[in-house]
Amino acid sequence: MARIGEYRLKVYNLLYEKPICKYTVTEKQKKQSNVLILGTGWIGNEVFKASFWAGQNIDTELNITVAAQNASSYKAEVLSTGKDAYLPSLKQYIEEKHYANLKFIDIDVAKGIDAAGLSLLDFETNRYNYIVVALGNSENNWLAATELITKIGEGRRKPDTASNPVIVNVFDEFSNSLDTDVREMLKEHGAENGIEVYFFGNATNKEIELERIAKNINFSYSMKYDQRVNKTNVDRQFDKSYNEEFIKSPMDYEIGDISVVGNFIGSNYACDSSYASAVHVPVKLDTCREASGMVDPLDIMKDAIQKKNELYWKLVVLEHRRWNAYIVMRGFRAPTTKEEETLLYQNGNTHQDKKHLDEQVKYRNRKYAKT
């Protein structure tokens, strides 16, 4: 048993250490991130929500497939637009704003996970390259990961897919972790098929790095509104928010179903939003890397910010899109056009500054004119 916030942090650490953008593929001159999530339990649910915003990238199609025993009912819940909907804007951002393409596939986990049971996932068509396995117990995870590697490995023998990067992320279940020998065997099976296998859930050095970046992002926002603010005091407040938003979150058994999707709706998210912004840093650096060639992407980013060049506005659009996707998964509804213009683009907000809107629109117009 664990707290919901613990699951979320483990997913954030995964998406920071193994960012989705690292495994993007190109299909018919179009970049794609093809995410497959096995399971809609606590981890699967957090992966679904986080991959929606962490997978946002410029000029890249994001495809997310959720496969589980209850995938159809899960779809009905997360895409509901009714009065008590947990994610009231998600359907609009899928159908009208094209933030991602979603698929939900029912698989019979209870009867066993084998090649026949996973055939519904249609590997040849979907070409999954970022996979998360979290089916509730280590045996199911191991069986599913083994079959996935075998199935994807068969497809990778074709010339057009052999070089595509693929990773299978296996959740190290709290209740019954796999022993070292079994893990190594699965990793070897992956390597033989050109597939990276990564076990997540245990502490890594990247957790410290992610927390440090999140604190610095939080401090930069505090500095924006008060140049005299003390770093120690800000970090102390961050730690307090961390405790409230993650450590004191509900225990998984206290809720009992995926309605925790609510992200603790109504609660504060000062710490959570800083973490989310930090998780997306590798995507920003990847965008700079594409523009820089051999130059350090961090130096390119600094230069873009200083010069306010086209790359800068590209990053602005990317961050605005990432923020929108994040706030959708916090359960907010989408603003009307009038609300967006009169309420959002004011007071110098980084995501909502009206004076930068024209430049963002200019970049978007250039971008879409080429597609």
Same domain membership, residue 120 and residue 57: yes
Same domain membership, residue 165 and residue 18: yes
Task: Identify the pLDDT of residue 162.
Answer: 59
Question: Can you give the pTM of this predicted structure?
Answer: 0.87
**H-helix or E-strand spanning residue 104:** strand 101-106
CATH of the domain at 161: 3.40.50.720
- How far is 331 from 269, CA to CA, in rounded Å? 12
Task: Identify the pLDDT of residue 147.
Answer: 92
Same domain membership, residue 86 and residue 43: yes
Same domain membership, residue 268 and residue 133: no
Q: Which residues contact 251 (CB under 8 A, 6 or more apart)?
A: 1, 2, 3, 4
Domain boundary among 169, 200, 231: 200
Same domain membership, residue 283 and residue 172: no
Q: Which domain holds residue 251?
A: 205-369
* CA nearest neighbour of 187 among 202, 197, 178: 197
AA identity, residue 102: L
Domain boundary among 165, 200, 235: 200
Same domain membership, residue 175 and residue 110: yes
- How far is 326 from 256, CA to CA, in rounded Å? 24
Total domains, the chain: 2
Same domain membership, residue 262 and residue 195: no
Task: Identify the pLDDT of residue 117.
Answer: 78
Same domain membership, residue 333 and residue 220: yes
Same domain membership, residue 180 and residue 97: yes
Same domain membership, residue 264 and residue 189: no
Q: Are 9 and 246 in contact (CB under 8 A)?
A: yes
Task: Identify the pLDDT of residue 357.
Answer: 45
Task: Identify the pLDDT of residue 139.
Answer: 85
Same domain membership, residue 189 and residue 214: no
For the chain (371 residues), the mean pLDDT of every run of 10, in chain order, is 82 97 88 96 93 96 95 94 88 92 91 76 89 90 92 79 86 74 93 95 86 95 89 94 83 49 51 95 94 86 93 93 92 72 56 47 50 41
Domain boundary among 155, 180, 200: 200
Same domain membership, residue 172 and residue 58: yes
Task: Identify the pLDDT of residue 244.
Answer: 85
Helices within the chain (DSSP H only): 4-17, 42-54, 71-78, 90-95, 115-118, 123-126, 138-155, 180-192, 205-225, 231-242, 252-255, 270-279, 281-292, 297-307, 310-328, 337-339, 357-369
Show the tokens assigned to 6: 């613990």
Region of 206 please: left (phi>0), alpha (psi -120 to 50) or beta. Answer: alpha
